[in-house]
Chain A
């Protein structure tokens, strides 16, 4: 008997990079998936989740890196030899075949192990044979029964509803008995009620079959409901891997906090272990190990804020209720405190216009390392009072001589975005927008592959083309000494 492995990895993605025409879609990604788990790849559109799935299925090859299935390197293996099957976003059923023949398609090609052949020298070679008609019929009918389409075998694909076509697609993939089932946003085209039903059924199938499911979605609720493990992706790299509860309760960074569930994301300062200050209040928390006075992001979920009447002294912050909406089982309120608009969910309503005190338990605050606290670039003085970096010449107050290599520091609020690209010194695309209550934190991506973080009161849309201007009074230069630049 084989020793059971401690961590039975069925799929391993090692240092995989994928670029399409110079655009990096997956950036040096590593991921291990344990046998039998329901794993969700979650992220906004364009984060690379579908590309990652397609590389596991074998439809696209990684530019760099390797993919292993059960320890075997399958990077160069074509899809028809991999022990995985896919349920496609728009089902991709074969319109010229009926339901039965669609499901039977894979079985007709499958070869199964049929004992060993021993030749005269005692050499053992496994023998494979095709399935016979009766076996195929039995397997197809079992698969159709599994998805609840027992009597639909003779039906034409085009006569089925979206939900039924989805079931046929699942049956067609499962009947091949894959080791891993890949699902590429399979519920995206269904209406809400159908989605909920299919979510439950897929989960049930996963439990009954015991095989590994890799499920791609951009719907965070779907991911949290169905998965054992959620892999949050953004910009081609993994932001966090964890159980739904971990990802929700302890987001690794501001992106995850913002993407998963409703949340209040704020900037704060870690005063000491177990104590953080934000919006002028000092609040106890459960996090430690940050530097003294380190700038941090913190997230407070709307249901973790408790409301008390003003003057009760029980809250750490006071604010004014702007609006209250009944949501069936709770009220959702917008509360303005120190210029930050909190979203609060509570079973007790506070009327709009009233003043309230808010308190948060230490366990309700989650502290995250800031991704970056200042924009830092390397550049060169290219003229009197001007510095060259990111393919642009920016004005700056300096007495440094031309040709001096420098590091340029620009705080988030020292960057100004302009509607018209030509009004700025250089152009960039908006890649990420995060509302921080009083302002937006916008991330823009320049043509020279650099990121700028910008704090702005204006709202920008993802994908906007903008110009970048810098406030020269807020910029700081640091001369790079020769040894440093050599190293």
Chain B
């Protein structure tokens, strides 16, 4: 009796897990599968059609606007994430060693994390107009987008770096000072090396957020037509979506997957060598 019941429960557990995972991965799977199809429309009368790399070929040879958008996305993503990582790390360190008002500053910096993107987007939109009105040479476009993305993603870097700081030995910075290093030197040779892990996570998170962002980008890309992947996809939906986007999406997914695997392998290896030494 009991064994049938537990068997049933086991079946149910697996079924549930498979359904949940399927729901999560179905859209991605669909896009990957159809990136190898020659059909312009998914689910058309011809079904899958023929297996071909035509879309990949098209992406790199015959989709100049999509390639342009990709390039812009990468430039904005990498530079804003670099800026956010730098500012976010310094801010975390400053916050950590702040005596008074720590909670208040933390709270203020975290509000933007939960704040709706549309508010920030409109805010930046109006700010650019305001700054232009008072005579500052601000122009919506690539530079402005980098600034906006850096501002949006900095709090996320703070969130990934701060926990590492709190794990540090509280005397580490003082040990640097004690051994003759000035405040700046202690910061960069003693504290920052401990934060690399958090900084890498923060950078990755900031980059992904920038890559994903549509609301802020769309409102602040300006009239000179700086398109990113998201705004490009949105704009072409009205006409017909370039099918090469399937190939691009697949490539992005694979890159992220590979990066994740490498990250985990390196981490495990480090852990294992450490344990080996202890033994």
Contacts and interface: CB of A to CB of B under 8 A. Distances in A.
A308 interface: no
B252 interface: no
B175 A57 contact: no
Contact of B171 (A58, A78, A88, A109): A88
A80 B172 CA distance: 14
Contact of A94 (B183, B185, B190): B190
A143 to B, nearest CB: 13
B174 A156 contact: no
Interface string A72-98: 000000111000111011111111100
A86 B194 CA distance: 21
Contacts of B193: 94, 96
B57 to A, nearest CB: 46
Given A155-B277, A159-B274, A92 B175 contact: yes
Contact of B181 (A58, A80, A84, A86): A80
Given A59-B177, A172-B179, A90 B194 contact: no
B182 A80 contact: yes
B180 interface: yes
B169 interface: yes
A59 B174 contact: yes
B178 A79 contact: yes
B180 A86 contact: no
A88 B176 CA distance: 12
Contacts of B194: 95-96
A218 to B, nearest CB: 18
A84 B174 CA distance: 13
A105 interface: yes
B181 A156 contact: no
A19 to B, nearest CB: 14
A93 B194 CA distance: 12
B274 A86 contact: no
Interface in A88-131: 88-96, 105-106, 109-110
Contact of A109 (B169, B181, B183, B278): B181
Contacts of A156: 274, 277
Given A156-B277, A159-B274, A159-B278, A90 B178 contact: no
Interface in A146-188: 155-156, 158-159, 172-173, 176
Nearest to B172: A92
Given A86-B175, A92-B175, A80 B180 contact: yes
Interface string A368-389: 0000000000000000000000
A410 to B, nearest CB: 39
Interface string B247-279: 000000000000000000000000000100110
A86 B172 CA distance: 12
Contacts of A159: 274, 277-278
Nearest to A172: B179
Interface in A217-264: none
Contacts of B181: 80, 105, 109
Contacts of A89: 171
A84 B177 CA distance: 11
Interface residues of B, number: 22
Contact of B178 (A86, A110, A158): A86
Contacts of A84: 178
Contacts of A172: 179
Given A80-B180, A96-B194, A106-B180, A88 B274 contact: no
Q: Which of B171, B172, B181, B182 gathers the greatest number of chain A CB atoms within 10 Å? A: B171
Given A94-B190, A159-B274, A80 B175 contact: no
Nearest to A58: B177
Interface in B162-221: 169, 171-172, 174-183, 185-186, 189-190, 193-194
B93 to A, nearest CB: 16
Q: Which of B174, B176, B180, B193 gathers the greatest number of chain A CB atoms within 10 Å? A: B180
Q: Which of A57, A88, A94 gathers the greatest number of chain B CB atoms within 10 Å? A: A94
Q: Which of A58, A79, A86, A172 gathers the greatest number of chain B CB atoms within 10 Å? A: A79
Nearest to A104: B179
Given A156-B277, A159-B274, A79 B190 contact: no
Contact of B180 (A93, A95, A110): A110
Contact of A92 (B171, B182, B189, B277): B171
A94 B172 contact: yes
A172 B116 CA distance: 51
A94 B191 CA distance: 9
A173 to B, nearest CB: 8
Nearest to B277: A159
Contacts of B183: 78
A92 B177 contact: no
B277 A106 contact: no
Given A96-B193, A96-B194, A159-B274, A90 B180 contact: no
A92 B274 contact: no
Q: Which of A86, A91, A92, A159 gathers the greatest number of chain B CB atoms within 10 Å? A: A92
Contacts of B277: 155-156, 158-159
Contact of B179 (A95, A96, A109): A109
Contacts of A110: 180
Nearest to A155: B277
Given A95-B194, A96-B193, 9 more contacts: A57-B174, A79-B174, A88-B171, A93-B175, A105-B179, A106-B180, A109-B181, A155-B277, A173-B179
15 contacts: A78-B177, A80-B180, A80-B182, A85-B179, A86-B174, A92-B169, A92-B172, A95-B194, A105-B179, A106-B180, A109-B180, A155-B277, A159-B274, A172-B179, A173-B179
Interface of A: 57-59, 78-80, 84-86, 88-96, 105-106, 109-110, 155-156, 158-159, 172-173, 176
Interface of B: 169, 171-172, 174-183, 185-186, 189-190, 193-194, 274, 277-278
Which 8 residue pairs of A and B lie closest in terms of their CB atoms, listed nearest first? A106-B179, A159-B277, A92-B171, A109-B180, A92-B175, A96-B193, A88-B171, A79-B177
